Amino acid sequence: MATGFPRSVTESAPDTDQVTPEPTGVAVATAAAESAASVRGLTKSFGDRTVLDGLDLDIEPGQFVALLGPSGCGKSTLLRILADLDHEISGEVRVAQRRAVAFQAPRLLPWKRVWRNVVLGLRGRPDRAKAVAALEEVGLGHRVDEWPKVLSGGEAQRASLARALVREPDLLLLDEPFSALDALTRIKVQALVGELWQRHGCAILLVTHDVEEALLLADRVLVLDGGGIVHDQLVEHPRPRDVAAPAFVAQRAELLSWLGVH
């Protein structure tokens, strides 16, 4: 695990020869094998409001991490920074070079067929075979040539996962991807994500408000509050997990207490 990074920011400008050493910058992508993500002294403010305050975090390769916390505490902000979508930060962020994101909304382009949505943004000519393989893996092989508007909510989210997985990421960032789904579909897609993680072996950071979901899927749960990680808990229950098991119930109660629910 990488440690001891300086509390400064390296800002890169890939299209120029200039480097601007300002106190705000971008996430630094690195292929460092010792961690999927490593954060040192990360601070992010919106006007006078600081949401991340000197945060330190390491995510190991292949680790499934769930991030809990009250609304507005900075969970999605942290995920966006790791995804290199928010550059106005101070501190140092090192992230696996191959990373992908799936959001709460699938964000499929309605004027492109499903398979073209999956390979959207990849370099080179659209690779239909690669898209088909990814869609089959998430159970959408029969929807390859459909328009996104005919997909159900669960199918659209599966397509979003296929689009992330086709990039073969070392770090997969999931921002509340199940929250808009009905209860039954949510259970099915949760199980799918667990299967895909075990199959691909990439590190995952899942932002969620659901304590039970975090304990079902992750092998490490973090609680973010007050600008930093206030609780870091390993989840060592055997898989598949039983929500009625005494150890599971006790750990859920402990996490709820950290979230102010007693």
Q: Look at residues 179, 228, 172, 221 and name the one whose alpha carbon lies nearest to residue 39.
A: 228
For the record, the structure tokens of 125 come out as 């000519």
Structural domains of the chain sorted by starting position, each given as residue range(s) with its CATH number in brackets: 28-107+170-258 (3.40.50.300)
Cα gap 49→47, rounded to integer Å: 6
AA identity, residue 193: V
Per-residue pLDDT for the chain (262 aa), expressed as one digit of tens each? 333 333 333 333 333 333 333 334 444 555 445 789 999 999 999 999 999 999 999 999 999 999 999 999 999 999 999 999 998 999 999 999 999 999 988 999 999 999 999 999 888 888 999 999 999 999 999 999 999 999 999 999 999 999 999 999 999 999 998 888 889 989 999 999 999 999 999 999 999 999 999 999 999 999 999 999 999 999 999 998 999 999 999 999 999 999 998 8
Cα gap 53→43, rounded to integer Å: 5
For the record, the structure tokens of 201 come out as 């072996």
The model carries a pTM of: 0.86
| Strand partners for 59 | 37
Q: What's the N-to-C CA distance of the chain in angstroms? A: 34
| Strand partners for 251 | none
Q: Which residue has the tokens 């950290």?
A: 258
For the record, the structure tokens of 209 come out as 């408000």
Find out whether the peptide bond into 240 is cis, omega within 30 degrees of 0.
Answer: yes
